[in-house]
Amino acid sequence: MDDSREGELFVYINGEFAPKSQAKISVFDHGLLYGDGVFEGIRAYGGKVFKLDEHLDRLYESAHCIWLNIPISKDEMRQAILETLRKNNLKDAYIRVVVTRGVGDLGLEPWKCSNPTVIIITDRIELFPQEMYEKGITAITVSTRRNSHQVLNPAIKSLNYLNNILAKMEAKLAGKQEAIMLTIDGYVAEGSGENIFIVKKQCLYTPPVHMGILRGITRGVILELAKRLGIQAYEAVLTSIDLYVADECFMTGTGVEIVPVVEIDGHKIGDGKPGPITKMLMEEFRKLTAQDGTPIY
């Protein structure tokens, strides 16, 4: 290898590894042209990949829902992910698995894409600085509504993330760290890339999946942890008012893990600091990620 690229990360593309600086796909790939594909974000902690099987199940389910046949089996995908981590000597990492429709022409016809593209990227990620986990973040409800499940079901983790990007831009332009998206009917859906929870009178509430949200892997872990800790947890239809009068609020996702929200639309949440139940769940989540997972080596 060229010594100038020593230490450079490798990217898996269709069974082969390429240095990050040389990793390429065709400009005629429908993932690029039309957002026609699916993806997963996964985390590795201390040499173990957290909830790998759950992420793979969701990846293959998303692909099935858009009639995209992933050309390798789940077990082959699992091994490819682990091999990419080993190739890059990463024990703590963010993993992005992308499957596109593949190369076609400039038309929409997906049947002209005969070979899907499989990409595995392993790297490090920091969405928020540590200070925001200690002090919490601010958020606003944005005018960009969450895609209706009747248009493009958010349960499908597709490459078309413009809906989320526009929401994130609104928050950024307003000087806030995160966006809260509402459904077409005005109910609370989720963040730009996270699920949302509130605490009220020692009970935990989060919007139900049928409201048109992503069935988050971390969201599921939090519901399991709440049950183990004896915290009453409910899936419930929430309004902006429910957020404003909550005792605590936090967001969850593979990338952000658990991040407290201390202000929404200028309303202080609780006492304006991360609350005790949020802190407890953050601590228990960290313990779980240190213990659980698929070994890399």
Chain-centroid distance of CA 74 in Å reads 19
Q: What Cα–Cα distance (Å) separates residue 270 from each residue in 60, 86, 221, 249, 267?
A: 40, 44, 24, 9, 9
Q: From edge to edge, which strands make up the β-sheet containing 10-13?
A: 16-19, 10-13, 117-123, 93-100, 37-45, 48-50, 294-295
Beta bridge partners of 37: 100
d(C-alpha 37, C-alpha 74), whole Å: 17
d(C-alpha 194, C-alpha 282), whole Å: 15
Report CA dihedral (130, 136, 138, 144) to the nearest 10 degrees: 80
Q: Where are the alpha helices (DSSP H) in the chain?
A: 30-34, 52-65, 74-87, 130-135, 162-173, 217-229, 240-244, 276-291
Catalytic residues: 157
